[in-house]
Amino acid sequence: MDFPQKLKACWHPVGYSKEIGEQPFGTFLLDQAVVIWRGADGQAHAMRDLCIHRGTALSLGWVKDDCLVCPYHAWEYDKKGACVFIPQAPEAHIPEKAKTPTYHCVERYGLVWVALESPGYSLPEIPELEDADWKVVQTGPFDWKSDSSRQTENFTDFGHFPWVHPGLLGDPERPEVPKCKVEKKGAVLHYSIVRPEATNTDEFPVFANDDVVQPERRSVYRLHLPYTIVLRLGWGGEKGMVYFFVSQPISKNKCRGYCIIGRNYDKDEPDTVLQNFEQVIFDQDKRIVESQRPEQVPFDFAEELHLKFDAVAMNYRKAMKAEGLA
Ligand code: FES
Ligand SMILES: [Fe+2]
């Protein structure tokens, strides 16, 4: 089964900008091998990671004179994907067929984004992440053997916090999930919740809930279909946090999550505190989600058992189907 065409026409992250340096960077998106490389001006380009000559991965090559060079026989491809030099026959006419498809590629929020086909939705606007008064920390990436739909649903699943993350994100003494109304506006689900959370630990003092006995967090969610979540957290005061989570659909049952966190407090805290905290959280989730069958979220309601507090998952599945992304 192939991926829905509409999924190919979405922006997906393929790596943190910092991961893509002078060496070409090979990855997969929806089963397609993709190479990302930077031209002379530093701009990132994306193309099929396959040399037309003998099918070698171009990502094993190198960049020279604003071209990507194949590692096998050193054919040179420009940023439009056209082969412009064949060292074995420098005088010969270069055949029309000597090229590799290129993809849409932009950089924003410290990520490189690729769309295999003309993107149907724009990237979410998150002013906090581009505001100098906010400290931004990149965590992960988190490579999981699961589908991006499972990784995304897990990030916004309220019922599991006390059980999978006791003492870190939830309190097993307060497992009830408050009501949550989900509204679909275009390809974005809007919902918010005030829910019990755990008090900060000494090891990970990351949330602004100090000195509160039974803390509660206000969470405002925007779930941008298919695999992006913008979550704004607050505790009733000035202090705020924004979580930007997005999952790269590498292949069926293989994904890579990126979690970028902005805060307007504790700006001097070393990045490693949040990075280590999220590593613990995501590892706690990983073993659960990798065990789920089927690996991809079943978009047919009859296949799993939904209760009222699963409103987000139900709306997510319904909306993915309605948008032709399932
Ligand atoms: S395989 Fe790429 S140049 Fe020969
Ligand atoms: Fe979790």
Per-residue pLDDT of 65-78, as tens digits, reads: 999 999 999 999 99
Q: Where do the domains of the chain lie, and which CATH numbers do they carry?
A: 5-115 (2.102.10.10), 127-322 (3.90.380.10)
Q: Pocket around ligand 1: residues whose beta carbon is below 6 Å from it? A: 51, 53-54, 56, 70, 72-73, 75
DSSP track, 209-221: -TT-SS-EEEEEE
pLDDT at 1 over 70: no
Span 40-67, mean pLDDT?
A: 98
Residue 92 CA to ligand 2 center (angstroms) comes to 58
d(CA 129, ligand 1 centre) in Å = 41
Mutate to test the pocket of ligand 1, among 47, 49, 50, 53 (most ligand atoms within 8 A of CB): 53
Q: Is residue 270 helix, strand or coil?
A: coil
Spatial separation of the C-alpha atoms in residues 229 and 223, rounded to whole Å: 4
Instruction: Please report the atom of ligand 1 found closest to the CA of residue 71.
Output: 2
C-alpha 175/C-alpha 158 separation (Å) is 9
Distance of CA 158 from the midpoint of ligand 2 (Å): 8
**pLDDT surpasses 70 at 117:** yes
Q: What separation in Å is there between the alpha carbon of 138 and the centre of ligand 2?
A: 18
Task: Give pLDDT tens digits for 90-103.
Answer: 999 999 999 999 99
Distance (Å, whole) CA 290 – CA 297: 12
> 3-class DSSP state for residue 103?
strand
CB 51 within 8 A of CB 100: yes
pTM of the shown model: 0.96
Q: Which residue has its alpha carbon closest to ligand 1 atom 4?
A: 73
148-155 helix and 271-289 helix, angle to the nearest 10 degrees: 120
Q: With bands split at pLDDT 50, 70 and 90, how would you rate the model's confidence at 216? A: confident
